[in-house]
Amino acid sequence: MDTQVEAESQRALSRRRILGLGAVAGTAVLVAACGSITTPTSSSASDSSPTSGTQVPAVAAQPSSAAGGAAPVGGSGETWLYVTVLTGKMDGKKGYPEFVPADFSVPANATVQCEIRCFDDGPASIPSGYEKVKGTVDGSMTLISAVNGDVSTAKSQTVQAVDPKNVAHTLTIADTGLNIPIPPLSTVRFTFKSGGSGTHGWQCMAACGTGQGGWGGPMATNGYMNGTMTVV
């Protein structure tokens, strides 16, 4: 593991631990992953990145029962949610890739801009249809071919689907219709409407686990390849 990836891993793991402490305490917390909260500086999906110099951005947690969350950033009125996908080597549990945070909260009736950075370097099989982007504001997402540091200058494209042979994970919330296919070693950005208050389970639909068909291990363990979005 190169030193930059290792540093990103450690910061993401620190965020997970702090988020857990915040949930236990029942208070709102401000959590730094690999940078600090910054004000987005653009008006389009392809360049809507935090200011130069940040790495994996921070998550600002709303007061809620969920472990992590999203909040308006820098007084801009935009709600951002940042998620990191770690490999089993990065989180210290071999064969257990992990979404950090896996349990998160977003404000009700908000337009949420989400960034997911995936450090996993290999694809997994998915059921037909899960290669398509669904449930975003415009039916598309921005796919960036970089994962380390400030990715705003990396090659990007707007896509409505990903090659099904090149999907490492998905963020799939069945009851809201959201499906985000995530290629290996990439960053994806998308915008969705949170809707009314409630709790929604999500599941990765790429068979990246152990056991028969790859659907065991992290796929069946809460907090790894599945979790909860709480709308508050």
Tell me how far apart the terminal alpha carbons of the chain are, to the nearest angstrom.
Answer: 38
Break the chain into its structural domains and give their ranges. Answer: 3-231
Dist. CA 220–CA 216, nearest whole Å: 5
pLDDT along the chain (232 residues), means of 10: 51 44 27 26 33 31 44 66 97 96 96 98 97 98 96 96 98 97 98 97 96 94 97 96
SS3 assignment, position 221: coil
Confidence at residue 168, expressed as pLDDT on a 0 to 100 scale: 98
One DSSP character per residue, 145-192 reads: S--SS-GGGS-EEEESB--GGG-SEEEEETTTTEEEEE-TTEEEEEEE
Confidence at residue 78, expressed as pLDDT on a 0 to 100 scale: 75
SS3 assignment, position 87: coil
Report, in angstroms and rounded to the nearest whole number, the Rg of the chain calculated over CA atoms: 16
SS3 assignment, position 83: strand
The model's pTM is 0.74
SS3 assignment, position 88: helix
Confidence at residue 17, expressed as pLDDT on a 0 to 100 scale: 40
Confidence at residue 160, expressed as pLDDT on a 0 to 100 scale: 98
* Residue for token pair 């915040």: 22
| Fold held by 3-231 | Immunoglobulin-like (2.60.40)
Dist. CA 24–CA 27, nearest whole Å: 8
For 79-93, letters b (16+ CB in 10 Å) and e give: bbbbbbbbbbbbbeb
Confidence at residue 11, expressed as pLDDT on a 0 to 100 scale: 52
Residues 6+ away with beta carbon under 8 Å from 151: 49, 117, 144, 187
Strand partners, 111: 193
